[in-house]
Amino acid sequence: MGISGIEIYYVSIFWISLVLSGVYFYMWHRHFSVNFSLIFAFVPVVNLGYILREQAKTLEGYIISQKIIYFGGCFLLLFIMLNIFDMCKVKLPKKIKMFFFLCSVVIYLFVLTIGEWPLFYKKIVGSMTDSGFEVIKTYGPVHAVFYAVIVMYSVFSFAAIYWSALVKKNISQRIILFLFLPEMASVICFFSTKFIVSELELVPASYAFAQLMYIYIAHRLCLYDVSETAVDSIAETGATGFVSFDMGLNYLGANQTAEEIIEDIQKLEVDRGMDVVPAIGELFGPWVDSFKNDEKQDKFYYEKDDSIYLVDINYLYDDGKKKGYQFIITDDTKNQKYIKLIDSYNADLEEEVKEKTADIVRMHNDLIRSMAMMVESRDNSTGGHIIRTSDVVEMLMDRIMKDEKFVKEFGLTEKFKENIIKVAPLHDIGKIAVDDAILRKPGRYNDEEFAKMKMHAAEGAKVLHRILENSDDEDIKTLAENVAHYHHERMDGSGYPEGLSGDAIPIEARIMAVADVYDALVSKRVYKDSMPFEKADAIMMESFGKHFDKRLEKYYVAARPAIEKYYSKANELSDQKN
């Protein structure tokens, strides 16, 4: 006799249920409930009972297969109901759970009496026929109780599903649907088999269908169960909020602390997008976008009332795979207020330092100019010389700094420009060491007097070295000493005090020489009148390449109109005073 279509059906359902159980245990996590796991453990066993019943050749074999099948009716439906309560987050008292369990145990004990006592089955007989082994059975009083228990489990299951769908927002509506479908399928298949279909049992198929639904639920459980994530130990402290979304930015869950910190989270529904609540989408959306573009951008701040919260975003992992995004929210108010206090203090301190530094710089500059003016006050022949030469140096530097090639060649900077203008008034400070009889002589010097006057260059360098010895500004010290020491040197080597020539003369001294000589030519002295600009200019132009650096000629020429205008105004003021 070949295999019947009904037997093929049972065998197929058995293998399907076995494969589905294998899939479940492959993806098993420790946070899956015991009831969940028991369903997948017992469904293949119960479905095996249907195969054994179809293959039974004796009444004894038939009764054994029925005892296996009724194990599903007594316990599988109990496990399914308890699993629904777990999924719907409905807590049953232990006494109620024990009552249900005892009901199933007692009924199954009566199932074990089949063929011996007339309590579950009043009568059961079987015989072989041409179509196979046929059984005639009459149900006993306990079988009616069995039906009552099945109805009770179903009613409680549907009640929990219905209540969660209406009341609980933290339960995914999708999960509720996937709990309802297998429960409804089991009820329909169970009672249709008893009252409509006589040969083919649909219950095994309903069990396999339930397994398929529960595998999907198990997959989602890995994401929904916030308490089992890596940050749960932090979240449970009560001071830290935790929120999670899947990769599609659908809401997965949050703890109470997060809901208290960001109250709009309470409006979210599980498995619905964050944009359903605009305030949440506008808040979390940009954070996620920044993190996706650059994973180093994982910290943000959220302010509420007087509190500042640090929001740390990271991926939500399951078995090493990215499944979504998790947000850890901690109160960072004290740190941020401390940082703001420090920043404010630093800003105030920086501003105060700037002001004090500016005051010191002004005092320093005034001191330099005062020192130069003190020396000049002893020289009755050079009134205003230090101010004018300093201004001419500035006009020359304005043109020089525009020539990138020259600036690069000599390594000049804006700081160099600022410093040479600052120290220019000190170029004649060495005259402080010259005797008054010579310095204040109302006429030209003889050779001996001029020799003593020329000593002011070297003496000036010595004086400035002593004065600036403890200064931290090395650039100022070097420029000041060089300008004082070498501003009378000439490019052809005929100058004093060292007789330097060419590039051996520091560039600052070469620039100072141009300003110093021009002022001497066009200014009135006790021993001479001021020279006309044209004549002074002719002497200056002739001196480039001999007295002055030829490379400075073009800057002098460029500045000449401004210089002449400056001296014209200075002469007018001088005439008005006189």
Return the exposure string of 39-54: e unless at least 16 CB atoms fall within 10 Å of the residue's CB, then b.
bbebbbbbbbbbbbbb
Does 336 map to a domain? no
Distance of alpha carbon 562 from alpha carbon 568, whole angstroms: 10
Mean pLDDT, residues 513-534 taken together: 86
Does 342 map to a domain? no
Mean pLDDT, residues 378-385 taken together: 57
pLDDT at 213 over 70: yes
Q: Considering 331, 361, 396, which residue would you say is the last residue of a domain?
A: 331
Q: Considering 223, 239, 261, which residue would you say is the last residue of a domain?
A: 223
Report which of 175, 186, 241, 242 is spatially closest to residue 209, judged by C-alpha positions.
Answer: 186
pTM of the model: 0.45
pLDDT level of residue 86 (50, 70, 90 thresholds): confident
pLDDT at 194 over 70: no
Does 41 map to a domain? yes
Task: List, in order, residues 6 or more apart from 258 with CB less than 8 Å away.
Answer: 241, 242, 243, 265, 327, 329
Distance of alpha carbon 236 from alpha carbon 228, whole angstroms: 11
CATH number at residue 245: 3.30.450.20
Mean pLDDT, residues 70-97 taken together: 87
For residue 14, give the H/E element and its range: helix 5-26
Report which of 400, 469, 387 is spatially closest to residue 428, judged by C-alpha positions.
Answer: 387
255 and 199 fall within a common domain:
no
187 and 64 fall within a common domain:
yes
Q: Are the C-beta atoms of 203 and 193 separated by less than 8 Å?
A: yes
Range of the domain at 204: 5-223
Does 302 map to a domain? yes
Does 28 map to a domain? yes
100 and 246 fall within a common domain:
no
Q: What is the DSSP string of 120-172?
A: TEEEEEEEEETTEEEEEEEE-HHHHHHHHHHHHHHHHHHHHHHHHHHH-TTS-
109 and 97 fall within a common domain:
yes
447 and 385 fall within a common domain:
yes
Q: Are strands 321-331 and 307-318 parallel, antiparallel or unpaired?
A: antiparallel
Mean pLDDT, residues 365-388 taken together: 61
213 and 236 fall within a common domain:
no
Comparing 51-60, 327-336, 566-575, the range with the smallest average pLDDT is 566-575
3-state secondary structure of 324: strand
Q: Considering 165, 194, 223, which residue would you say is the last residue of a domain?
A: 223
Helices (H), 377-446: 385-400, 404-410, 414-423, 436-439
3-state secondary structure of 319: coil
Structure tokens at 187: 């009820």
Domain count across the chain: 3
CATH number at residue 384: 1.10.3210.10
State pLDDT tens for residues 295-338. 999 999 998 888 889 999 999 887 678 889 999 998 888 887 77
Mean pLDDT of the chain: 84
Mean pLDDT, residues 452-467 taken together: 86
3-state secondary structure of 110: helix
CATH number at residue 58: 1.20.1070.10
